[in-house]
Amino acid sequence: MNFKGDHFLEKEDGTYLIRLAGVSYEGRQEYLKKMNGKEKLKLKREKNNYYDPNAVAVYTKIKGKDKKIGYIPAVIAKQVSWVLDSGSKIEIEIDSFTEETYKRHEFIGLVMHMKERIKEHPSVRLRLLFE
């Protein structure tokens, strides 16, 4: 897959494949190792996130408890946060797991399929007009 800036790939139908960010922090690798690819994913806004006011975390249930497994990358999180802040839901699912290396450390990555055509959503189109 050829991801833009290693973060996301826009498909021909306008939906996105997104490589989650932050999967190697706070024990998230252990959660990913327990997953089989059939889990449901849920997006949660983190408006008070110290590092990014547009942060969107990705959660799944592990042994019946919600666990954060990563974040929508910052390069697309702004538009995703606009959609979520408008009250709209975004349908997402696991596409694939990856094996990745960063600074000689190997880790499991996760690619998710976001079925929303973000660029066509009214809240995104309106905000982009005024940026």
pLDDT, position 106: 81
pLDDT, position 5: 61
pLDDT, position 7: 84
pTM: 0.88
- Rounded to whole angstroms, the Cα distance separating 84 from 9 reads 20
Strand order in the sheet with 92-102: 8-10, 16-19, 105-114, 92-102
pLDDT, position 14: 85
Q: Pick from 116, 122, 126, 92: which is nearest to 10 by CA?
A: 116
Q: Is residue 130 within a helix (H) or strand (E), and if so which, with residue range?
A: none
- Rounded to whole angstroms, the Cα distance separating 72 from 49 reads 13
Which tokens hold the place of 109?
């990555």
CA distances from 49 to 32, 56, 64, 67 (A): 23, 9, 25, 17
**Amino acid (1-letter code) at residue 86:** S
pLDDT, position 50: 94
- Rounded to whole angstroms, the Cα distance separating 126 from 88 reads 15
pLDDT, position 11: 87
Check if CATH label 3.30.70.2330 holds for domain 17-129.
yes
CA distances from 121 to 11, 32, 54, 82, 131 (A): 16, 30, 17, 9, 16
Which of the residues in the chain have pLDDT under 50? none
